[in-house]
Homo-oligomer: A and B are copies of this chain.
């Protein structure tokens, strides 16, 4: 450094910091390694802690770092590729998907965006199935699946069952229907408090929200809203995961 005369177009400090840290991560740190704490890093770079944190936040957003309160900041492993669109259209809960049913409830109020997709009227009963997706032992996604009760009029009123069993019952009924099509949207969101808990993140953490519409009998029969951890996930669409192809 010395007498820095540079910065004709002053680059924000945190931006420059991010670059420096990023290079250091590539060359001097191994995955899982713990970085010095924020106060020390800030001192080492001669900036306020808030500025240092701005750089760390960006790197975390890009999946380079992982920070945990009370523990420290570690170097994150490369993002996991998670398959979102299987080769053939299938209902959620079809054999082979790696989602785990959590529970199921019934409600007559759903988010406005979901009601619009399902074309339900206010007050109409809808099953809400919660599921989790786990990859390599890490939770990567939480899902809420909305199915109008009218679409699956099965005899689910049997004896009291466990929460996962109720979820499985709804999913099982879906398989009976003919799936005519599906489409998806992906957008950025922030984790609601409940999702955050499931994903082992703080509320507000960045997530990729995948909304899937399932079409059967000429109408939207189910809507799944899946929230994936944006810091650790790379969503894959199409033929196959990059890794498996390169291995071939």
Contact = CB atoms under 8 A, between A and B. Distances in A.
B213 A188 contact: no
How many copies of this chain are found per oligomer?
A: 2
A189 B62 contact: yes
A39 interface: no
A15 interface: yes
Given A61-B206, A116-B246, A206-B61, A186 B237 contact: yes
Contacts of A18: 204
A61 B205 CA distance: 11
**Range, interface on chain A:** 35 or more
| Ranked 3 nearest A-B pairs via Cβ | A183-B238, A188-B230, A187-B234
Of A18, A81, A188, A242, chain B has the most CB atoms within 10 Å of the CB of: A188
Given A15-B203, A61-B206, A206-B61, A238 B184 contact: yes
Contacts of A213: 242
Given A79-B187, A185-B236, A237-B237, 15 more contacts: A15-B204, A61-B190, A61-B206, A62-B188, A63-B188, A81-B185, A85-B237, A184-B236, A184-B237, A185-B237, A186-B237, A187-B234, A187-B235, A188-B206, A188-B208
Nearest to A9: B193
A58 B204 contact: yes
Interface of A: 15, 18, 58, 61-63, 79, 81, 85, 116-117, 181-190, 203-204, 206, 208, 213, 230-231, 233-240, 242, 246
* Candidate in A116, A187, A246 with the most chain B CB atoms within 10 angstroms: A187
22 contacts: A18-B204, A58-B204, A61-B190, A61-B206, A62-B188, A62-B189, A63-B187, A79-B187, A116-B246, A183-B238, A183-B239, A183-B240, A183-B242, A184-B236, A184-B237, A184-B238, A185-B235, A187-B230, A187-B233, A187-B234, A188-B230, A237-B237
